[in-house]
């Protein structure tokens, strides 16, 4: 998850599943998108999906900075499976998991998606050229 207004690198490529050019912000996200493209269970996906600020009122604010609830955020991937279910994946480098701000942002993402009804939420951990788990 990242701030929607923050300037970031853009890596663009064509997605056959999405039928358009997609834009991700890191090598790790690009690698994960390639996995989504190859997975038969994935119908399509949305990258950098903006969170609806109106939904933050349904998020438990305990342990989340009040300022975070006033900002615009994007989640890395909202995945639409062929069976009609949805999943969310936040791509994080292994070394970032020691940062309190990253953990707080991940928790905000998890609570947000739980509040809007998406229960399949996971961190896709990027370590030394490998992204896990599977979509």
Q: What is the pLDDT of residues 95-130, one digit of tens each?
A: 999 999 999 999 999 999 999 999 999 999 988 766
| pLDDT tens, position by position, 50-99 | 999 999 999 999 999 999 999 999 999 999 999 999 999 999 998 999 99
What pLDDT shows up at residue 134? 60
What pLDDT shows up at residue 3? 84
| Residue 1's pLDDT band (cuts 50, 70, 90) | confident
Identify the H or E element spanning 77: strand 73-81
What pLDDT shows up at residue 107? 97
- Span between the terminal Cα atoms of the chain, in Å: 17
Rounded CA-CA distance 134/83 in Å is 16
**CATH number of the domain where residue 29 is located:** 3.40.1350.10
Rg, Å, the chain Cα set = 14
The Cα-based distances of 51 to 11, 90, 112, 115, 117 in angstroms read 21, 13, 8, 12, 13
Number of domains in the chain: 1
The domain containing residue 123 runs over which residues? 2-132
Give the pTM: 0.90
Query: Tokens representing 71?
Result: 């900002």
Chain CA centroid to CA 102, Å = 13
Cis omega (within 30 of 0) for bond into 133: yes
């Amino acid at each position: 998850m990242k701030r929607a207004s923050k300037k970031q690198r853009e890596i663009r490529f064509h997605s056959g599943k999405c039928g358009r050019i997609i834009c991700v912000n890191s090598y790790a996200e690009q690698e994960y998108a390639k996995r989504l493209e190859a997975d038969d269970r994935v119908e399509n996906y949305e990258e950098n999906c903006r969170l609806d600020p109106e939904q933050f009122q349904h998020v438990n604010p305990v342990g989340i900075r009040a300022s975070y609830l006033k900002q615009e955020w994007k989640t890395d991937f909202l995945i639409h499976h062929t069976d009609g279910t949805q999943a969310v994946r936040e791509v994080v480098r292994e070394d970032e998991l020691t940062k309190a701000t990253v953990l707080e942002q991940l928790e905000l993402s998890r609570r947000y998606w739980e509040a809007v009804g998406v229960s399949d939420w996971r961190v896709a951990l990027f370590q030394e050229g490998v992204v896990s788990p599977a979509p």
